[in-house]
């Protein structure tokens, strides 16, 4: 059984209560308009082509992680586990995983029209 998946988002995790200051920096650095959510926890840097760039306020140390979009999250998690990945946590609508290299990443639902245009079939 196949499903479709793609790199959907680069997430810049910033240790901050509100994301506005960090988002302003990254917006200027990347040359994109900043759209901050109502809670001040997430900000999208617009105008980055088909790849979504998100700035997120977090409690842990600053880092960058990726989100992998999949039209079947459970199948994608199973595929990644077969490659040596492991599930760290299931949060809301996404699954936090860790690669054998120690890098954290998330498996999420498709986030927009770029998924249909750019996702690939995987087994």
**Which pair of tokens denotes residue 70?**
């999949």
The tokens for 26 are 């990254």
Nearby residues of 40 by Cβ (< 8 Å), 6 or more positions away: 17, 18, 19, 20, 57
What are the domain boundaries of the chain?
3-122
* Record: fold of 3-122: 2,3-Dihydroxybiphenyl 1,2-Dioxygenase; domain 1 (3.10.180)
Confidence (pTM): 0.85
Chain-centroid distance, C-alpha 93: 12
Alpha helices in 1-123 (DSSP H): 20-30, 73-82, 113-118
The model's pLDDT over 67-118, given as tens digits with 9 standing for 90+, comes to 999 999 999 999 999 999 999 999 989 999 999 999 999 999 998 888 988 8
Instruction: Report the candidate in 78, 86, 71, 84 with the shortest Cα–Cα distance to residue 120.
Output: 71
């Amino acid at each position: 059984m196949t499903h479709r998946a793609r790199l959907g988002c680069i997430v810049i995790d910033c240790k901050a209560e509100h994301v506005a200051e960090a988002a302003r920096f990254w917006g200027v650095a990347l040359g994109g308009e900043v759209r901050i959510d109502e809670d001040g926890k997430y900000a999208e840097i617009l105008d980055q082509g088909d790849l979504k760039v998100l700035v997120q306020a977090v409690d842990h140390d600053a880092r960058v992680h990726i989100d992998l979009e999949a039209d079947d999250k459970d199948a994608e998690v199973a595929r990644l586990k077969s490659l040596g990945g492991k599930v760290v946590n299931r949060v809301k609508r996404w699954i936090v995983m860790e690669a054998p290299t120690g890098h954290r990443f998330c498996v999420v639902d498709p986030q927009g029209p770029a998924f249909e245009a750019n996702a690939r079939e995987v087994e």
